[in-house]
Structure 1
Amino acid sequence: MLSVKGSRVVPSSKPTLICTVWTGKLYNPEGFKAHMKGIWKTRKKLVIQVVGQNLFTIVFELADDLELILEGRPWLFRKSVILFDRLSQAMDRDQIRLTLSPFWMKIDSNFPEFDKKDLLHAIGVSFGGVLRYEINEDFCRLRVNLDVQRPLRRGIFVSMDAVNKVWVPFKYGNLPMFCFGCGRMGHGLSNCIQLPPERKSKISENPPFLLALKAESKL
């Protein structure tokens, strides 16, 4: 289904994705393959193949099944996010960069001073653009790409006028494991290499990042 020539990953003639699990923990690749095949409900069969350390390709019989997987993101494996990209041409493994994943963000809609559509657009631009958005009476939400190498953003100040500002907090749907100290996905505070040990002990008492960043599951 797919060939690996030296350090190059060569895609199949069929629709192909390349993916990795954003985690520093060791895991069984065969366990990953079995777990995801049990979750993904595709119309036709798919083949998951190991092509490198923590690197997989997924070959589909149908392009619609590939789109179904991309549309369902973010996907998690053992509380860690899986990062995907299309594989349409041969690539060197050391040139593959998987760092982005779309997430839904919840924004409370109790800001009568702002036009909700304009507010979502302004927030989305700060993330590089809005992929999609929805507005209803109880809350608004928008879909944006998050860079897993960067800390999660807890919110944003929005100016009402030349003097007053309003804090707009963010909540993220289907958020994976993240560090309460540095705010990055893929590890917990105890395994964080961004912070020195003496700072970790202080942060654990009053962490800057909290579970409040997670939106309720019904989203």
Structure 2
Amino acid sequence: MADKELWISLQNLNLGLERSPLKISNDAKNRRDAEHRLSLVVQGLHPSQNPAGIKVMMPKIWKLEGRVTSRINDDGSVQFFFKHEHQLLTVLDNGPWTYKDWLVVVDRWTRRNYPDFLRIIRFWVKILNLPDDSKSDSVIREVGGVLGHVDEVHIQQPSADQVGEVRVHVPIDVYDRLLFARYFNLDDSRPPVLIRFVYDKLWRFCSTCGGLNHLATHCNFQVQETEHLQLPPPIPVPVAHHMVDQPHTCWCRIPHQ
């Protein structure tokens, strides 16, 4: 037994390390890229989301059970292989996705060399309390811009039985803290307006710091005094009846220019 362990340990020698690196052929790389082109990488944000569970459950959640194959990578992420690109795109378009009530981050394997790979979740965020005269594309993009770059703006026009609604599509870094409210000076002649943000498909998160990978009971974040000072004194905002959620119809889509 001792001899076996000795020979196994000898395999850790650095023989050959001094030689120049070998380059993989373009043909081998092209074949690898073709095999991985239609694949998504999924990673959980919370310790309870074990890779084996993600591997089994995500195809069921996507309603693609039996139509995708998968494997667990060495880093704990799970890679899913699709037969058709439209299935992969549907998964991306219908996110964010959750497993065990916690968000998972989903990214294309082809983006593996980007610095934000497996760091971005794209949310639709409803903007509440924005005055009607400020519901313009330029103002909405600046208001939504405090969350991140605004990819798209959706404006739902009011009707006889439905109030208007404003949403923005924003990529959020999963390691940032979510922002849920902010005062804005929309007009120099008016007091600041408290704008609130409601994230679509957001489940569990930390109510203390806005983190996406823990609850408030496990939060070590301490609010700094400077963060309090960035907001003006609160202005009472009455709760209006028209703020109740309504079905999403009559959208006016304004793509990013």
What range is the shorter-chain TM-score in?
A: 0.7 to 0.9
Q: Which structure 2 residues correspond to residues 37-186 of structure 1 after superposition, within 5 A?
A: 37-42=59-64, 45-88=67-110, 97-108=117-128, 111-136=131-156, 137=158, 138=163, 139-162=165-188, 164-186=191-213
Change (3 A) 1:128 1:107: closer
Structure number with the higher strand fraction is: 1
CA distance in structure 1 between the aligned counterparts of 2:111 and 2:147, rounded to whole angstroms: 28
Is the contact made by 2:101 and 2:203 (CA closer than 8 Å) also made in structure 1? Answer: yes
Q: Does the residue aligned with 1:34 lie in a helix, a strand or coil? A: helix
Unpaired segments ≥5 residues, structure 1: 1-9, 197-214
CA distance in structure 2 between the aligned counterparts of 1:58 and 1:116, rounded to whole angstroms: 40
Change (3 A) 1:99 1:120: same
Q: Which structure 2 residues correspond to residues 179-218 of structure 1 after superposition, within 5 A?
A: 179-195=206-222
Residue 3 of structure 1 corresponds to which residue in structure 2? none
Deviates more, 1:164-173 or 1:110-119: 110-119
Q: Percent identity?
A: 22
Q: Does the residue aligned with 2:144 lie in a helix, a strand or coil? A: helix
TM-score of the pair, normalised by structure 1: 0.73
Unpaired segments ≥5 residues, structure 2: 1-31, 224-243, 249-257
Amino acid at match of 1:30: A
CA distance in structure 2 between the aligned counterparts of 1:73 and 1:13, rounded to whole angstroms: 21
Question: Aligned-residue CA RMSD in angstroms?
Answer: 2.9
CA distance in structure 1 between the aligned counterparts of 2:103 and 2:84, rounded to whole angstroms: 24
Change (3 A) 1:96 1:159: closer
TM-score of the pair, normalised by structure 2: 0.63
